[in-house]
Amino acid sequence: MNTRPYKGKTGVARLINAFGYSLSGLRSAFRHEIAFRQEVLLAAVLVPAAFLAPVAPTARAVLLASVFLVLIVELLNTAVEAVVDRISLEDHELAKRAKDIGSAAVMLSLFNLTVVSVVVLVG
């Protein structure tokens, strides 16, 4: 038996609902998170640049994947921060640890993007 009412949809209805929830999440992150807006701006520059760069298709794909990885990790970090804040706004060692680890993940994804960009574009 399914205990969650939102898990009852199947087939195309489930896909439509999931797509709507995903768009809502993107809108929410863009509206409320300055870091996400900054990274979307970065992606808006780097994605077209990746298509204009004279590189092999595989290198282009790795470059694009690195750009989108930053956005994905930022979304996950934002979700962790929202859940931690929902539980309590009080200072707590575990809450700080969770937020710091999420931040570290974003930093590493940005470092990865930098390294991949240098390797792909500079050679």
**34 token code pair:** 């300055």
What CATH number belongs to 33-122? Answer: 1.10.287.3610
- Catalytic, 93? Answer no
> What pLDDT does residue 3 have?
63
| pTM summary value | 0.88
Across the range 82-99, mean pLDDT stands at 95
Q: Which of 74, 81, 90, 93 is catalytic?
A: 74
pLDDT in tens, 23-70: 999 999 999 999 999 999 999 999 999 999 999 999 999 999 999 999
On whether the CB atoms of residues 117 and 66 are closer than 8 A, the answer is yes
Cα gap 86→90, rounded to integer Å:
10
Residue 10: the pLDDT is 82
Q: How is the chain split into domains, by residue range? A: 1-32, 33-122
Look at residues 19, 21, 18 and name the one whose alpha carbon lies nearest to residue 9.
18
User: DSSP secondary-structure letter at 123?
Assistant: -
What single DSSP character describes residue 91? -
Residue 1: pLDDT over 70: no
